[in-house]
Amino acid sequence: MHHKKILIISAMAEEMLPITKYLSYEKMLKAGDIVEHGSYVFAVSSIGKVAAAMTLTKVLEQYNIDAIINIGLAGSLSPHLEFGDVVVVKHTIEHDGLIEGDNEAQKRLYPLFELLTVEHPELKSGILVTGDQFVASGSTREMLQSKGGQLVDMEWAALAKVADHYQKPLISLKIISDNADEEAWENFFKNLHAGERVVKHLPFILEFIVNN
């Protein structure tokens, strides 16, 4: 019987810590770490699209991964997404590149996406824009809103591109840490450990992946 191997990847150790604790791995990871723990592989890529793409490629070359879960912080571009909200990424736009729309890797977990938003109605969903810039200005925020973005990060589009190349299904849960405005840095650091809000949703996600 094939036991599925699930990758959980974040950009920062602080985002990953609540997840590894929940899955009974007690050591604090650091940027660049890739650790196998039973049915899971944990990876901390560091910030930005290049680091995310390089780390995911390394993991997928080294391990036979069945599915990828990305967990991390994001800035809100929408009045409907508030600090601490957990958001399932619905669609993807790379605001400083060429990626727009969902690829086959993302579409493979659409059934999970749909079930999650039904079974866990407190979860939000949104269109995520990705770029190699920490957004902390009203003008940039307005520009990203004009592209249709509802939240913003610095890794997801790159992860989706690599996963699609390797034909691995993936899903992303983002926790709103700031409003991508002039107070973004301050609020980001205040909410650095907000990843713990994802933990209560993990059993449902992991069970779905294992059984499908």
Give the per-residue pLDDT at 97.
Answer: 54
Q: What is the mean pLDDT of residues 3-23?
A: 95
DSSP strand pairing (170-178 vs 151-153): unpaired
**19-33 confidence digits (pLDDT tens):** 999 999 989 999 999
Residues 31/38, Cβ–Cβ less than 8 Å: no
Residue 90: pLDDT band (50, 70, 90) is confident
Q: What is the pLDDT of residue 102?
A: 56
44 to 10, 59, 115, 149, 176: CA distances (angstroms):
5, 11, 27, 25, 19
pLDDT digits (tens, 9 = 90+) for 162-207: 998 899 988 999 999 999 999 999 999 999 888 899 999 999 999 9
Q: How much of the chain, in percent, has pLDDT values that exceed 70?
A: 92
pLDDT for the residue numbered 100: 53
In whole angstroms, give the CA distance from residue 60 to residue 81.
Answer: 32
How confident is the model at residue 95, as a pLDDT? 67
CATH superfamily of 6-211: Nucleoside phosphorylase domain (3.40.50.1580)
pTM exceeding the 0.85 threshold for the entire prediction:
yes
pLDDT of residue 92: 83
Q: Which residue has the higher pLDDT, 92 or 6?
A: 6
Q: Hey, where are the domains in the chain?
A: 6-211
pLDDT reading at 87 higher than 90: yes
